[in-house]
């Protein structure tokens, strides 16, 4: 494994997103706020890592994917480039505040969205083997499991304790329920039902206006985490990375569906940077995707479900910029099942390093109790040392 060192924006056009905040300390349970914050950007659909961080130094790249590789890539070094849609991310790399981990994946090879997404959120040894999520379990170990700002409690944030969630709605013609009326209703019910109405009454007293576009969601999350008593974790979902067709536009490999979605990712990272302010120095942001795409393109200027991809990291806690990779090669003999980029770095190790840095947890504890893999390799020194 080696680290290769490297020395606004159009109006948002596409990209649905949702935000989840967690890690508000529970009274009587919190051990004190951890040393930093952690944010996960889930890229649903399987992001093509070979176009996001193209290995321009691999002699097989253009032979295998000339019709879908970005021509206007930003050179990071002699071997790796950066997709031109990631302009803000490139600025962070130039300042030492961004890194990428390539040829990486969770240990899942069957290429199902449902199984893959469940595994990357649950963090277990196989899909659907966990009822809780790896970030939720980590927050509990750090003593900051708490309420989630979400319509539903996403798997990645679920813990063993009775975490609560709320989501401020914005529905035309609706009003906030009267707290005193809800309290009266609670008094007239048995204990379990009364507790539910009491929770609703408490939530109705909160007046939180949450923006809905991805960049604003990220800025809001950063501002919340920057507060002294704010959450220490956030999760943002960005959809539409399943690029079976029109991943690029014919005659313009720098444009197309993937380029538009990477603009969204770039804007989300920029939103976090603006919202976090000085708290950026203690923050780590990482992307998560269920799998990569095939090495070769298909007949519709797209790619099929693959294996390894790339993980993007940003934040002031990084020790410097670069691409961390144990490059496997793109020739047919080096591909996984003669079609996909081979994974040489377990992305759970990257997640574990981010948890170690942001929450102050011991790697061995993370490996055994969060990812159920006591011998999970430690890659902390490649990112934060």
Q: What is the CATH number of the domain that holds 287?
A: 3.40.720
Distance CA 87, CA 9 (A): 8
**100-104, 225-229, 357-361, 372-376: least confident range:** 225-229
Distance CA 116, CA 243 (A): 16
Look-up of token digits 């401020």:
168
Claim to verify: residue 187 and residue 79 sit in the same structural domain: no
Task: Determine the pLDDT at residue 169.
Answer: 47
Task: Determine the pLDDT at residue 12.
Answer: 26
Distance CA 176, CA 187 (A): 20
Claim to verify: residue 158 and residue 120 sit in the same structural domain: yes
- Give me the domain span that covers residue 200: 170-207
Claim to verify: residue 222 and residue 188 sit in the same structural domain: no
Whole-number average pLDDT of the chain: 86
Contact criterion met (CB below 8 Å) for 57 and 73:
no
pLDDT band at 358 (very low <50, low <70, confident <90, very high): very high
Contact criterion met (CB below 8 Å) for 274 and 222:
yes
Distance CA 14, CA 51 (A): 19
Residue 313 dihedral angles phi and psi, to the nearest 5°: -125, 145
Nearest to 377 by CA among 107, 132, 110: 107
pLDDT at 9 over 50: no
Distance CA 272, CA 275 (A): 5
Task: Determine the pLDDT at residue 195.
Answer: 52
Task: Determine the pLDDT at residue 161.
Answer: 62
Distance CA 310, CA 295 (A): 13
Residue 4 dihedral angles phi and psi, to the nearest 5°: -95, 120
Spatial neighbors of 89 by CB under 8 A, at least 6 apart, are 82, 98, 265, 266, 269, 312, 314
pLDDT band at 243 (very low <50, low <70, confident <90, very high): very high
Q: Which residues pair with 82 in a beta bridge?
A: 74
β-strand pairing of 309-314 with 98-105: antiparallel
DSSP calls for 129-148: --SS-HHHHHHHHTT----E
Task: Determine the pLDDT at residue 79.
Answer: 98
Task: Determine the pLDDT at residue 181.
Answer: 55
Contact criterion met (CB below 8 Å) for 99 and 383:
yes
Task: Determine the pLDDT at residue 32.
Answer: 66
Q: Which residues pair with 312 in a beta bridge?
A: 100
Q: What pTM was estimated for this model as a whole?
A: 0.86
pLDDT at 174 over 90: no
Claim to verify: residue 106 and residue 232 sit in the same structural domain: yes
Residue scoring higher pLDDT (213 or 151): 213
Claim to verify: residue 91 and residue 201 sit in the same structural domain: no
Domain edge (last residue) among 207, 235, 264: 207
pLDDT digits (tens, 9 = 90+) for 106-147: 999 999 999 999 999 999 999 999 999 999 999 999 988 665
pLDDT digits (tens, 9 = 90+) for 68-84: 999 999 999 999 999 99
pLDDT band at 203 (very low <50, low <70, confident <90, very high): very low
Claim to verify: residue 343 and residue 201 sit in the same structural domain: no
Longest dimension (CA), the chain: 73
Task: Determine the pLDDT at residue 177.
Answer: 53
Nearest to 50 by CA among 39, 38, 37, 64: 64
Task: Determine the pLDDT at residue 51.
Answer: 98
Task: Determine the pLDDT at residue 385.
Answer: 83
Claim to verify: residue 106 and residue 59 sit in the same structural domain: yes
Distance CA 98, CA 13 (A): 25
Token duo for residue 345 = 């770095």
Claim to verify: residue 196 and residue 301 sit in the same structural domain: no
Token duo for residue 28 = 């009587």
Contact criterion met (CB below 8 Å) for 383 and 356:
no
Residue scoring higher pLDDT (9 or 99): 99
Domain edge (last residue) among 207, 234, 261: 207
Claim to verify: residue 127 and residue 275 sit in the same structural domain: yes
pLDDT digits (tens, 9 = 90+) for 310-334: 999 999 999 999 999 999 999 999 9
pLDDT band at 158 (very low <50, low <70, confident <90, very high): confident
β-strand pairing of 98-105 with 345-346: parallel
Contact criterion met (CB below 8 Å) for 226 and 234:
no
Claim to verify: residue 86 and residue 181 sit in the same structural domain: no
Q: Above pLDDT 90, what percent of the chain?
A: 72
pLDDT digits (tens, 9 = 90+) for 206-218: 555 666 789 999 9
Task: Determine the pLDDT at residue 21.
Answer: 84
Residue scoring higher pLDDT (54 or 212): 54
pLDDT at 11 over 60: no
Task: Determine the pLDDT at residue 31.
Answer: 55
Task: Compute the average pLDDT of residues 333-353.
Answer: 98
Claim to verify: residue 185 and residue 144 sit in the same structural domain: no
Contact criterion met (CB below 8 Å) for 148 and 163:
yes
pLDDT at 221 over 80: yes
Task: Compute the average pLDDT of residues 56-77.
Answer: 97
- Number of domains making up the chain: 2
Going through 239-305 in order, the beta strands assigned E by DSSP cover: 283-288
Distance CA 226, CA 283 (A): 9
Q: Above pLDDT 70, what percent of the chain?
A: 78
- Angstrom CA distances, 150 to 11, 186, 217, stand at 26, 24, 12
Contact criterion met (CB below 8 Å) for 319 and 95:
no
Tell me what percent of the chain is helix, strand and coil, each rounded to the nearest 5: 35, 15, 50
Claim to verify: residue 183 and residue 100 sit in the same structural domain: no
Domain edge (last residue) among 207, 235, 266: 207
């Amino acid at each position: 494994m080696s680290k290769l060192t490297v020395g606004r924006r159009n109006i948002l056009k596409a990209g649905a997103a949702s935000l989840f905040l967690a890690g508000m300390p529970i009274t009587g349970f919190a051990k004190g706020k951890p040393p930093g914050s952690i944010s996960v950007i889930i890229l649903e659909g399987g992001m093509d890592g070979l176009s996001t961080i193209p290995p321009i130094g691999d002699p097989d790249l253009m032979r295998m994917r000339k019709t879908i590789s970005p021509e206007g890539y930003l050179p990071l070094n002699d071997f790796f480039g950066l997709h031109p849609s990631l302009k803000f991310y490139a600025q962070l790399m130039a300042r030492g505040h961004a890194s990428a981990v390539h040829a990486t994946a969770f240990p899942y090879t069957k290429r199902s969205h449902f199984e893959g997404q469940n595994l990357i959120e649950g963090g277990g040894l196989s899909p659907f083997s966990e009822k809780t999520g790896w970030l939720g379990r980590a927050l509990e170990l750090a003593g900051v499991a708490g309420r989630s700002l979400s319509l539903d409690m996403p798997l990645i944030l679920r813990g063993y304790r009775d975490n609560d969630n709320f989501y401020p709605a914005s529905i035309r013609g609706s009003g906030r329920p009267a707290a005193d009326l809800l309290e009266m209703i609670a008094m007239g019910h048995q204990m379990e039902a009364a507790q539910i109405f009491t929770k609703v009454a408490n939530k109705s007293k909160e007046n939180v206006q949450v923006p809905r576009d991805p960049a604003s969601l990220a800025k809001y999350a950063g501002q919340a985490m920057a507060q002294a008593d704010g959450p220490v974790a956030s999760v943002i979902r960005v959809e539409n990375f399943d690029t079976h067709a029109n991943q690029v536009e014919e005659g313009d490999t720098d444009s197309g569906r993937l380029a538009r979605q990477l603009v969204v990712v770039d804007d989300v990272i920029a939103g976090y940077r603006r919202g976090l302010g000085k708290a950026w120095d203690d923050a780590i942001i990482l992307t998560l995707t269920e799998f990569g795409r095939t090495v070769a393109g298909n007949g519709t200027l797209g790619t099929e479900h693959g294996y390894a991809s790339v993980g993007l990291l940003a934040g002031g806690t990084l020790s410097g910029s670069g691409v961390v990779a144990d490059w496997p090669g793109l020739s047919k003999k080096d591909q996984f099942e003669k079609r996909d980029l081979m994974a040489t770095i377990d992305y759970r190790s990257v997640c574990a390093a981010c948890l170690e840095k942001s929450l102050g947890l011991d790697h061995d504890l993370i490996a055994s109790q969060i990812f159920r893999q006591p011998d999970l390799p430690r890659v902390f020194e490649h990112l934060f040392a």
